[in-house]
Amino acid sequence: MINQRFVLANLKIFLLFFTKTFPTIIIYQYNRILPAMPSKLSQEIKSIPKIGPAYQARLKHLGIETVKDLLYHFPARYEDFSVQIPIADLKVDETACVQGIVESVKMVRVWKRHLTITEIVISDSTGKIKALWFNQPYLAGTFKKGLAVCLAGKLVEKKSSRYLSNPMYEKVNDGPDSEIDLTHTGRLVPIYPQTAGLSSRWLRYVIKPLLAGYSGLRDPLPDATVSAYEFMPWGEAIRQIHFPESLNTVKAARKRFAFEELFFIQLSVLQERIRLNNEQAEAITMDLPLIQDFTKTLPFSLTEAQRISSYRILKDMEKNRPMNRLLQGDVGSGKTIVAMMAALNAAKTGYQTAFMAPTEILATQHYENFIKLLKPFGIEIGILCSKHTAVSSFGQVSKSTVLELAKIGKIGILIGTNALIQKGVAFKKLAFVILDEQHRFGVEQRAALAKNNQTRKREKFTPHLLSMTATPIPRSLALTIYGDLDLTLLDEMPKGRKRIETKIVKPDDRAAAYEFIRREIKNGRQAFIVCPRIDTDEEEKRDAILFDPKADYSGAEAVKAVKEEYDKLSKKIFPDLRIGMLHGKMKAAEKQEIMEKFKAGIIDLLVSTSVIEVGIDVPNATIMAIEGSHKFGLAQLHQFRGRVGRGEHQSYCLLFSDYPTRRLSALLRHDNGFELAEKDLEIRGPGEVFGSQQWGMPDLAMASLADVFLVEKSRNAAKGILARDPTLENHPLLLERVKQLKQRTHLE
């Protein structure tokens, strides 16, 4: 096979010689050949020697299916075994790297403990040391007397015997005068994210030979960008991130790849913004007298933030290009009213609105609120969920009736779950789409809903889009994930809201906390108790102990489960109260029934999982008690806290935890969700806060969200490219990567 690097090198000489004679033809052919080079990275991993079906399945668990996936499976950390020391200098309880000659090998079986011990003794000019491996009997055949080896591990001392415990090992067969390129010892050793049956040692064994064959590929970043930001070239960076020469080269390589991943995300979202700016939408005129009449009917006054946000949204919808706006507001800031005003304006102007919520409970709650507050304006409102269908004027109706009324334009506002994007749903004149807690939906769902304007399909009208979230978003995330959206903030709470008193409840104070809950309920109030799990099993108990091995969990007290907690509270703690249970495995109808009973006051105390995190509105509930509160992030805890304090009575948030954490302490000091989001980012890091799997972002890009300066650099670089080449037609490598990104991620 012809070596591609050789071909490329000679092609460059050819180009330099002939460019003056045939400039157009040569440059065209050169650009055609270069984009083909990275196609090697698109090859499936089965093309790599020694990766059979079993390893292919294990790699797939890590999201690795192509050569690129494998090369971009970056180490999570590194063990520093770069300095080899004499055996005589080894110190107990310290990790070190030594090199020596194997003097003896033996394997011992301890039958009573079902244990095998492989023992070798190595020596150098300064002394000897034992090395032990447990339950790895095959190693007895790996080591031979007289073999030169390098070992890296911790020196342990037990019963006057010193030995290296389960050290990393590597054969050194090249002789003392050869330059040895070690892989598993004697260097900064990469430790990778792993899965069952797939060790870091195996990944090093497979990845290292690949680097030589792929490091000559053309850099996916434009030369001007690499030069402007003084980044390592791709080939050098891919070597340094896997097998670095020093910690400084690791840092430089990681920064370069973090920028690269953020850069392609920015290209993707900014291209989407350009695409939307070129599309056409219905220009919906703002009916100011109508909006004024609506605000007069409300049982409360709008905040200044609500007024400003509403005006911006309504003015945006007057344009004939689609609005693409994110309305971000803290818990209880009144986002729904802002969305309702825009939907009312659209309906009274003759257009339809689709309002999509993540759960049936939340969709039903929105439906009831819309009917109540829009009743004076004569708008037909419908709901379409898997189990619940109704229209305001007719009450409960069949699904087919709702679909027909929406299709002929008789329903002005249709509220629902993902049932809104199922086959058969069509609108006559859909001009406005609202997505509540929109980050819970994927790109495909969002696109399907926006294009559900069946009868106006030929005219290619794109509905205006308003996405709403109560999850505070740090600036770096907003710039990266929501780069295609205009951001509107509701940063003011309604007047008269009482501060929710938040307290950490330690184990010794649990009885007093239970008594406080009982008193509140006896005074006519209601309470939530939230648990991290539905069931508790042995695996969860083990996980709890692993969460903090130094803590005494006394049977994994930290993992509270809804079912066992419900049984304990209803039978032992509060047998005199009416207690309900709610969790995600229940059927939609069951969940709906429980919530209706709770809102009606038939249930005093609701034991639930995080299913009540978003949008539940029960003004009479004044206590939010959170079991295992250290298991949740700050943003989620703030969401839970926001389920109370929605009425006239003083409310409380009780954080049950066996030990305080920085997160819990921050919740005591801060009421503002935006401040807490930044604090959570600082304490836990982006991967824990946002969840790489949930967002579909590459790990390194996710980890880099804390670096807002790097995010801004990547955004500015992407803007510069798109200003000159909006379709990336002249940047085929970039276009290929952006297409791959859109296929494999869900940036919602």
Report the distance separating Cα 344 and Cα 412, nearest Å.
8
Residue 636 binned pLDDT confidence (cut-offs 50, 70, 90):
confident
**Claim to verify: residue 518 and residue 408 sit in the same structural domain:** no
Range 23-46 average pLDDT = 50
Q: Residue 505 is inside which H or E element, if any?
A: strand 501-505
The whole-number pLDDT of residue 52 equals 92
Predicted confidence band of residue 24 (pLDDT cuts 50, 70, 90): very low
Residues 380 and 323 in one domain: yes
In a domain, 661, yes or no: yes
For the chain, the C-alpha Rg in angstroms (whole number) is 31
Average pLDDT over every residue of 276-304: 92
Torsions phi, psi for 256 (to 5 deg): -65, -45
Q: Which residues contact 166 (CB under 8 A, 6 or more apart)?
A: 132, 133, 134, 153
Cα distance between residue 506 and residue 667, in whole Å: 15
712: in domain: no
Average pLDDT, the chain: 82
Continuous H helices in 349-463: 360-374, 399-407, 443-450
Residues 124 and 148: their CA atoms lie apart, in Å, by 10
| Of 251 and 617, the one with more pLDDT | 251
Q: Which of 165, 186, 207 is the last residue of a domain?
A: 186
- Domain boundary residue, one of 144, 163, 186: 186
Which of 29-33, 69-73, 304-308, 691-695 is predicted with the least confidence, judged by mean pLDDT?
29-33
In the chain the first and final C-alpha atoms are separated, in Å, by 44
Q: Which structure tokens are listed for 222?
A: 């434009």
Query: Would residue 232 count as lying in a domain?
Result: no
pLDDT at 542: 36
- One domain, residues 28 and 104: no
Q: Report the pLDDT value the prediction gives residue 179, as an integer from 0 to 100.
A: 55
Tokens of 706: 């804390």
Judgement on whether residues 481 and 507 belong to the same structural domain of the protein: no
State the residue for tokens 């390098």.
150
* pLDDT for res 648: 84
Q: Quickly state the pLDDT bin for 174 (edges 50, 70, 90).
A: low
Residue 739 clears pLDDT 90, i.e. is over it: no
Is there a domain that residue 13 lies in? Answer: yes
CA dihedral 47, 48, 50, 53 (to 10 degrees): -40
**Maximum Cα interatomic distance, the chain, rounded to a whole number of Å:** 95
Residue 348 lies in a domain: yes
CB 33 within 8 A of CB 15: no
Q: Examine the domain organization and report whether 314 and 374 are in the same domain.
A: yes
DSSP characters over 106-145: EEEEEGGGTEEEEEEEEEETTEEEEEEEES-GGGGGT--T
Where in the sequence is the domain holding 609, given as residue range(s)? 501-670
Q: Is the pLDDT of residue 392 over 70?
A: yes
* Mean pLDDT computed over 340-356: 96
Can you tell me the distance from the alpha carbon of 341 to that of 376, in angstroms, rounded to the nearest whole number?
13
Span of 20-24, 85-89, 499-503 with lowest mean pLDDT: 20-24
Nearest C-alpha neighbor of 469 from the set 332, 329, 358, 359: 329
Mark whether 111 and 25 lie in a shared domain: no
Q: What is the pLDDT of residues 496-549, one digit of tens each?
A: 678 889 999 998 999 999 999 999 999 999 999 998 876 554 334 433 333 333
Q: Looking at the structure, do residues 506 and 486 belong to the same domain, yes or no?
A: no
Both 387 and 463 in one domain: the answer is: yes
Residue written as token pair 């970056």: 74
pLDDT at 631: 81
Beta strand residue intervals within 393-438, DSSP E? 395-396, 413-416, 430-436
Output the domain CATH number for residue 159. Answer: 2.40.50.140
**Of 442, 462, 443, whose CA–CA distance to 452 is shortest?**
462
Pair 301, 415 in one domain? yes
Q: What is the CATH number of the domain that holds 344?
A: 3.40.50.300
β-bridge mates for residue 586, sequence order: none
What separation in angstroms does the CA of 229 have from each of 224, 233, 256, 257? 9, 11, 9, 12
Alpha carbon separation from 153 to 145, 163, 170, 185, 601 (Å, rounded): 21, 10, 12, 9, 62
CA–centroid distance for 700 within its chain: 12
**Residues 446 and 509 placed together within one structural domain of the fold:** no
Task: Assign 629 a pLDDT band (cuts: 50, 70, 90).
Answer: confident
683-712 residues labelled b (16+ CB within 10 A) or e (exposed) = ebebbebbebeebbbbbbbbbbbbbbebbb
pLDDT of amino acid 561: 83
pLDDT band at residue 740 using 50, 70 and 90 as cut-offs: confident
Do 522 and 429 lie in one domain? The reply is: no
> pLDDT at position 151, please?
96
pLDDT value at position 36?
Answer: 36
Which pair of structure tokens corresponds to residue 310?
Answer: 């509403």
Mean pLDDT of 582-605: 88
Least confident of 150-154, 297-301, 621-625: 297-301
What's the whole-number mean pLDDT along residues 609-636? 83
Q: pLDDT at residue 703 above 90?
A: no
Cβ atoms 237, 253 nearer than 8 A: yes
> Is 703 within a domain?
no
pLDDT for the residue 698: 62
DSSP at 49? T
Q: Is the pLDDT of residue 11 over 80?
A: no
> What is the C-alpha to C-alpha distance for residues 565 and 535, in angstroms, rounded to an integer?
9
- Please name the residue that has the structure tokens 């986002």: 335
Q: Could you tell me if 581 and 611 are in contact, meaning their C-beta atoms sit under 8 angstroms apart?
A: no
Beta bridge partners of 327: 468, 488
Q: Look up the pTM and report it.
A: 0.70
Q: What is the pLDDT of residue 127?
A: 95
Helix residue spans in 433-509 (DSSP H): 443-450, 475-481
Three-class secondary structure assignment of 58-100: HHHHCCCCEHHHHHCCCCCEEEECCCECCHHHCCCCCEEEEEE
Last residue of a domain, one of 186, 216, 233: 186
| 723 band by pLDDT with thresholds 50, 70 and 90 | very high
Same-domain status, 575 and 484: no
**15 pLDDT higher than 50:** no
Query: Is residue 738 assigned to a domain?
Result: no
Report the distance separating Cα 192 and Cα 207, nearest Å: 11
Residue 203 lies in a domain: no
One-letter amino acid for residue 167 of the chain: P
Question: Which residues are registered as beta bridge partners of 435?
Answer: 356, 467
**CA–CA distance, 318 with 323 (Å, rounded to integer):** 9
Only one residue has tokens 């030990």, namely: 659
Quick one: average pLDDT of 320-340?
88
Structural domains in the chain (count): 4
Helix, coil or strand: residue 134: strand
Cα 731 to Cα 214, 294, 484: the distances in Å are 21, 51, 21
Which among 262, 237, 239 has a CA at the least distance from the CA of 252?
237
CB-count burial class (<10 Å; 0-12, 13-18, 19+) for 115: exposed
pLDDT of residue 720 exceeding 70, the answer is yes
Residue range 391-412: average pLDDT?
Answer: 92
Helix 200-214 with 234-242: angle, nearest 10 deg: 160
CA–CA distance, 546 with 557 (Å, rounded to integer): 13
**What is the full DSSP assignment across 161-181?**
EEEEEEEEEEE--S-TTS---
